Structure 1
Amino acid sequence: MAELVYPPVIGIARTMFRVQGLRFDMAGTEHVPHRGGALLVSNHISYLDFVFCGLAARPAKRLVRFMAKESVFRHKVSGPLMRAMKHIPVDRSRGVAAYEHALRALRAGEIVGVFPEATISRSFTLKAFKTGAARLAQDAGVPLLPMALWGTQRMWTKGHPRRLGRHHFPITMRVGEPLAAEPHEDAESLTDRLRGRVQELLDAAARAYPVRPSGPDDSWWLPAHLGGTAPTPEQAEALA
């Protein structure tokens, strides 16, 4: 079936990014498979992360079906778009339905996108991963595709105002080699390996980021362990 909505939405997003003067540093996109199912797994630091994860799959000419909160699908504006782009609603009271929906998509050869931290990290460090991504990849017989984003938190994140004007923000994206989801491996062990790989990519993305805070008032987006004023993971947990 022809994709009548998703490609134009991507085109609009790219136009908006050009207007905003965003600067992209993308590496590892050759690891995105050109065909077949895969589970794309990323850190989560911004409300816009799904957009940038989707862009990383475009060099391979792939579209990513993201698992997202069911409430987004009920919104009068975003709802019709999310359904038309074949994203996957997640109702936590009916988690099995979302899991089976994602499983069908993966087995049909789609790339499905997930954020296994479940919520945005206020500390901008990597939180604990839920094991659902590992189990989903194992059940579907598809690889895990680790990814990390950096800089998106400066645009729109939890607890801070949106900054969607022409700020020329750099956005760094790193995609890693696919990780085989062997069916015999314990899901917790696989989750640990996956999280470790995303952590490596996140560290690399942060190191490659071309700017530092301009002063104390601009250090909120930098994690505490890197000298910024973002909450520590413990402080962030108390804010959640």
Structure 2
Amino acid sequence: MAELVYRPVIGAALTMFKALDLKIDTQGSQHIPRQGGAVIVSNHISYLDFIFTGLAALPQKRLVRFMAKDAVFRHKVSGPLMRAMKHIPVDRAQGEHAYEHALSALRAGEIVGVFPEATISQSFTLKSFKSGAARLAQEAGVPLIPMALWGTQRIWTKGRPRNFRRSHIPVTIRVGEPVEAPADQFAGAITRRLRGRVQELLEAAQRAYPVRPKDAGDTWWVPAHLGGTAPTPEELKAAERGDGIQ
């Protein structure tokens, strides 16, 4: 079936990235299957993560159907595009509908993209993973493809202004070998194994990243444990409780 909207959107994104002269370094795309269903699982540090995750699948000539909160589908601009690209709306009050939609897509041989942290990590470290991705892979009989992104937070992330005027920002993408999801294993155990693999890929992406905070002139986008000034997970939890960041 022709993708009358998805491919032009990809073309527009690639044109924008070329204009910004983004330095995109992708390794491991060969781990994404050329045929058949799979669940891509990535960390979540930017509003643009779905675009870069999708770009990693292009060398394999695959399009990714992302699960995204339903508010995006209600927006007057993004809504029609998301529906035309056959992405999957997630209403947290009725999550079973999104689950069945994603399951049907996987069984039809599609690739589904999931951000199991559910929300953007403002500490830029991995949050806990929901088990939905593992359960989908188990029920559909497809592999999980771990992925890690780094640098996307410098373009547009939660709590920061968009940075579309600054060019030459590097983005590092690492795709790992498939993680199997046997039906006879607990989804929680698979999820822990998957999160560990994404963590390894994230650390690899951070090591490979060509810019250090002192070179960039700022440190807000670097986790505290790496010497940056991003809030720690503990500080963010305290702020959510109303305790404030100390």
Instruction: Mark yes or no: TM-score above 0.5.
Output: yes
Q: Secondary structure at the match of 2:147?
A: strand
The aligned residue for residue 151 of structure 2 is 151
Aligned: 1:90 with 2:80:
no
Q: Would the alpha carbon gap of residues 20 and 212 (structure 1) be closer, same or farther in structure 2, given more than 3 Å must change?
A: same
The aligned residue for residue 11 of structure 2 is 11
The aligned residue for residue 135 of structure 1 is 135
The aligned residue for residue 205 of structure 1 is 205
Once the 2 structures are TM-superposed, how far is the Cα of residue 214 of structure 1 from its aligned partner? 3.3
Which residue identity is paired with 2:123?
S
Residues 214-229 of structure 1: pairs in structure 2 closer than 5 A: 214=214, 218-229=218-229
The aligned residue for residue 25 of structure 1 is 25
CA distance in 2, matches of 1:86, 1:138: 22
Contact kept in structure 2, 1:20 and 1:165, CA below 8 Å = yes
TM-score (norm 1): 0.98
The aligned residue for residue 39 of structure 2 is 39
Once the 2 structures are TM-superposed, how far is the Cα of residue 140 of structure 1 from its aligned partner? 0.8
The aligned residue for residue 121 of structure 1 is 121
Task: Could you tell me which runs of 5 or more consecutive residues in structure 1 were left unpaired when the two chains were aligned.
Answer: none
Contact kept in structure 2, 1:46 and 1:157, CA below 8 Å = yes
Once the 2 structures are TM-superposed, how far is the Cα of residue 21 of structure 1 from its aligned partner? 1.0
CA distance in 2, matches of 1:238, 1:142: 39
Q: Percent identity?
A: 72
Q: Secondary structure at the match of 1:218?
A: coil
CA distance in 1, matches of 2:215, 2:23: 21
Once the 2 structures are TM-superposed, how far is the Cα of residue 217 of structure 1 from its aligned partner? 5.9
Which residue identity is paired with 2:99?
Y
CA distance in 2, matches of 1:239, 1:103: 36
Q: Deviations over 1:136-164 (max 9, x none)?
A: 11011100000000000001111111101
Q: Give the CA RMSD over aligned residues.
A: 1.1
Which residue identity is paired with 1:33?
P
Q: Deviations over 1:12-55 (max 9, x none)?
A: 00000011110011000010100000000000000000000000
CA distance in 2, matches of 1:177, 1:171: 20
Once the 2 structures are TM-superposed, how far is the Cα of residue 237 of structure 1 from its aligned partner? 2.7
Which residue identity is paired with 1:14?
L
Contact kept in structure 2, 1:19 and 1:166, CA below 8 Å = no
Once the 2 structures are TM-superposed, how far is the Cα of residue 165 of structure 1 from its aligned partner? 1.4
Extract structure 1 runs of 4+ deviating beyond 4 A.
Answer: none
Q: Secondary structure at the match of 2:130?
A: coil
CA distance in 2, matches of 1:110, 1:60: 13
Once the 2 structures are TM-superposed, how far is the Cα of residue 119 of structure 1 from its aligned partner? 0.4
Which residue identity is paired with 2:52?
F
CA distance in 2, matches of 1:180, 1:144: 6
Contact kept in structure 2, 1:121 and 1:236, CA below 8 Å = no
Q: Secondary structure at the match of 1:214?
A: helix
Task: Could you tell me which runs of 5 or more consecutive residues in structure 2 were left unpaired when the two chains were aligned.
Answer: 241-246
The aligned residue for residue 244 of structure 2 is none
CA distance in 2, matches of 1:237, 1:7: 40
Contact kept in structure 2, 1:42 and 1:148, CA below 8 Å = yes
TM-score (norm 2): 0.95
CA distance in 2, matches of 1:61, 1:68: 22
The aligned residue for residue 183 of structure 2 is 183
CA distance in 2, matches of 1:215, 1:235: 26
Once the 2 structures are TM-superposed, how far is the Cα of residue 213 of structure 1 from its aligned partner? 1.3
Q: Secondary structure at the match of 2:66?
A: strand
